[in-house]
Amino acid sequence: SAAPPPAPSRRATGSASPRPAPTVSAPPVLRFGDAGPEVAELQARLRQIGYQGGRTEGVYDREVEDSVRSYQLTRAVLEDESGVYGVATRAALEAETDEP
């Protein structure tokens, strides 16, 4: 008589497939009206280099927007929308400041 088929291996339930790479979320683009710890860090970095960066900690108000716009103009960061803390502006500011 024929031998029974081999039992399926439990190890074949996905352990052989490559693990998906962990999702690394890009830092957020910040703009007028945003709030939170990322905005507070932006303000602290702006202050390190002599830009006011707003009165209220963690709120992207007109003062923060104006400070970001001035920074972009003086550093010739033209890739991001004026007054918006985007990828290029973040890279430039982080390169010349210490993490608060």
Instruction: Check which CATH number belongs to the domain holding 67 and give it.
Output: 1.10.101.10
End-to-end CA distance of the chain: 76
- pLDDT of res. 55: 75
Query: Considering the domain boundaries, does residue 1 fall inside one?
Result: no
CB atoms near residue 28 (< 10 Å): 13
The candidate with the shortest Cα–Cα distance to 38, out of 26, 25, 22, 27, is: 27
Query: How far is 15 from 85, CA to CA, in rounded Å?
Result: 42
Query: How far is 61 from 35, CA to CA, in rounded Å?
Result: 9
Q: How many residues does the chain have?
A: 100
DSSP 24: -
At residue 69, φ and ψ (nearest 5 deg) are -60, -45
Query: Considering the domain boundaries, does residue 18 fall inside one?
Result: no
Provide the residue range defining the domain that includes 77: 28-96
Query: Considering the domain boundaries, does residue 38 fall inside one?
Result: yes
pLDDT tens profile 33-89: 999 999 999 999 999 999 987 777 899 999 999 999 999 999 999 999 999 999 999
Instruction: Tell me how many domains the chain contains.
Output: 1
